Structure 1
Amino acid sequence: MAGSNFVDYVKIFCRSGKGGAGSAHLRREKFVAMGGPDGGDGGRGGHVIVTGNRNTWTLLHLKYKRHIFAGHGGSGGKQGSSGADGEDRYIEVPLGTVAKDAETGEILFEITEHDQQEILVKGGRGGLGNMHFKSSTNQTPRYAQPGEDAVERAAILELKVLADVGLVGFPNAGKSTLLSVVSAAKPEIADYPFTTLIPNLGIVSYRENHSFCMADIPGIIEGASEGKGIGLRFLRHIERNSILLFLVPADAEDIRKEYEILLNELRQYNPELLDKSRLLAVSKSDMLDDELIEEIKQDLPDIPSIFISSVAQQGITELKDMIWKELMNANK
């Protein structure tokens, strides 16, 4: 997926359809005296509906089409005929999309399943025809209800990537390299900060035909929760991960300190993220000997940890085992 094609935040303006007016028609036939009211109801205005599509991965299609209007309902007719309902407008979004009211920030709904449908803006009801107002004291009502007005709403659609495992680490921690080794994903990899500018997803094959989804989240820096770097933009994607896999390179000055900084950024952004299962992988460990590994282990945080090297293929199988075990515990 090209970086320019990944859009995870878009503001749209929607308007539902106006309800059709009811008819005040009176029956007129040559051999029927005093036929009475026979006006039909107006049709419902069209809804604006958001629907989930598992084959969609971005909100790009909404980037240049941000005004979405549903059709108006038709007016009622004679002989009790109802007006046609207005045409509904459907917005297809990836799974993991959250819809918010742009003015209040209120979360309206989340799309998490394929073909799930939620009404973003409800169409106006059609007006009742004069048939409904006939009574013993008013046998010839010459009035009917107008249709309800259209409803307008500015909404924000925000995509939060759905994945079993989210990779958390500073730029150049080796997240993209790990994803390229354990899955068929082909993220851009280079030796400079912020190579990864979009979340990359990869399906990791496991034993006995099992698999799980791993997401490479663009690098977080200290102060990301305050808007520094690009981490703030992508911190929301971590909210949908079942497990957080922290990656700290073996050549870091202080592995525990880097882990604490990353953890603090998550805490500042959303304290609930700390409730997720956490694992630690010390990457680029092929440069360490056994004695140094044992020495580093003494100062690691109190979470399951492992030493790996994506390039040398060291510890990758053991890492998969650790992740799978944690996933099974998380889903109990």
Structure 2
Amino acid sequence: MFVDQIKVHARAGKGGDGSVHFHRGKYRPKGGPDGGDGGRGGDVILKVDPSTDSLRNFFFNAKLHAKDGQGGMGEQRTGKSGEHGIFRVPPGLVISRIIEGFDPETGEPTEEFEPVADLTEVGLEYVLCKGGRGGKGNQHFKSPTNQTPMEATAGEDGEEGRFHFELRSIADAGLVGFPNAGKSTLLTKLSHAKPKVANYPFTTLQPHVGVVEFTDTRRATVADIPGLIEGAHANVGLGHDFLRHIMRCRVLLFVVDTAGSEARDPINDIETLRTEIKLYSSELAKRPWCILANKMDLPESEENLARLKERFKRIKIFPISANEGDGMEKLMGYLDKTIAQDIE
């Protein structure tokens, strides 16, 4: 099960209470105050882990809690700090705090999302909620006029809140197209990814990211986005769930069935896809893009390729056959020149 957005409740640990205690020894039956401080509450920490690619774990347990700090003890002993709650999350996680309210007209409860963080750096540890500070023991309240203070402070509550997690795939390039355009097959040819491939719509129901290696030190990541349909910008066919995963892509690769084997017109497909992208995000529509004229091994592809070149004269078009592996060299060269990055 692939989960790319979810609401969670996070609560850091409460600080331990300070201690009221007085020293009692063999030769000091009425010693002074020696109550220790409470330990600090544990933090709720999110660790960006590239081996995690879904929010599925939070679907089964949406409570992110850390341990409370231990109370202070006699002989000025500070309580043990609470254990941190460390939760692994995938790169590309967008976090928003959920602000609850009420609609003044209807009285219905409302929720607003306040952006908090965008976690893209692998290995980063982000403190979502800080643990509360421990309380002070009575040793801190001794004074010339108060030799036996009975005062100590309680530990502070840890930070707490409801949050919305939204996963946006991280990739240099995104494969965009209608169902059965051949995106998944193309990704297997370009990289080591192994998405499910079959000849029926919506084979891909979750994003797949493949690594394309050009040399030992140069590579790029390419995401196979589930097939879009007309109206995706308005969330038809889970459009928003799919479109969010190309928001980080630097280059958009529009994959089209050039042969029209699904009784579709490749020019109309490109125009429709471009419109959906623009309506969803004007920022995304400004990214560099090109056309991958797929299925060139099938009849009628040459005629439709000529039509594509006439209609999109200023756009790079790469004739390819993902099934046969034709045209991969020129496409790889383009990706290498455009988006390849050195491996650190």
Aligned: 1:41 with 2:37: yes
Aligned: 1:272 with 2:283: yes
Describe the shift of the 1:133–1:221 C-alpha distance in structure 2 as closer, same or farther (beyond 3 A).
same
Q: How high is the sequence identity, in percent, across the aligned residues?
A: 42
1:277 touches 1:326 (CA, 8 Å); kept in 2? no
1:133-176 superposed Cα distances (whole Å, 9 cap, x missing partner) = 23344343220111112443222222211112110111122111
Give 1:116 deviation, angstroms.
Answer: 0.9
Aligned: 1:297 with 2:309: yes
Give 1:245 deviation, angstroms.
Answer: 0.7
Describe the shift of the 1:30–1:154 C-alpha distance in structure 2 as closer, same or farther (beyond 3 A).
same
Aligned: 1:250 with 2:250: no
1:165 touches 1:214 (CA, 8 Å); kept in 2? yes
Q: CA RMSD in A?
A: 2.3
User: What is the rounded CA distance, in whole Å, between the counterparts of 2:173 and 2:3 in structure 1?
Assistant: 21
Could you say what secondary structure the match of 1:260 adopts?
Answer: helix
Could you say what secondary structure the match of 2:172 adopts?
Answer: strand
- Structure 2 unaligned runs (5+)? 100-111
Could you say what secondary structure the match of 1:76 adopts?
Answer: coil
Give 1:288 deviation, angstroms.
Answer: 5.0
1:255 touches 1:300 (CA, 8 Å); kept in 2? no
AA of the residue aligned to 1:225: H
- What TM-score, normalized to structure 1? 0.89
User: What is the rounded CA distance, in whole Å, between the counterparts of 1:55 and 1:16 in structure 2?
Assistant: 25
Which residue of 238, 248, 266 maps to 2:246? 238
Aligned: 1:320 with 2:332: yes
Give 1:311 deviation, angstroms.
Answer: 2.2
- What TM-score, normalized to structure 2? 0.86
Could you say what secondary structure the match of 1:192 adopts?
Answer: coil
2:212 touches 2:220 (CA, 8 Å); kept in 1? yes
Describe the shift of the 1:247–1:42 C-alpha distance in structure 2 as closer, same or farther (beyond 3 A).
same
Which residue of 91, 95, 98 maps to 1:99? 95
The residue aligned with 1:184 is: 192
The residue aligned with 2:127 is: 119
Aligned: 1:210 with 2:221: no
AA of the residue aligned to 1:156: H
Aligned: 1:72 with 2:80: no
Aligned: 1:172 with 2:183: no
Could you say what secondary structure the match of 1:320 adopts?
Answer: helix
User: What is the rounded CA distance, in whole Å, between the counterparts of 2:42 and 2:301 in structure 1?
Assistant: 67
Count of residue pairs brought into register by the alignment: 325
- Structure 1 unaligned runs (5+)? none
2:220 touches 2:340 (CA, 8 Å); kept in 1? no
1:213-272 superposed Cα distances (whole Å, 9 cap, x missing partner) = 211100111111211013321211101222211112213565444323222222222222
User: What is the rounded CA distance, in whole Å, between the counterparts of 1:227 and 1:213 in structure 2?
Assistant: 26
Give 1:177 deviation, angstroms.
Answer: 1.7
2:258 touches 2:305 (CA, 8 Å); kept in 1? no
The residue aligned with 1:140 is: 148
User: What is the rounded CA distance, in whole Å, between the counterparts of 1:32 and 1:301 in structure 2?
Assistant: 95
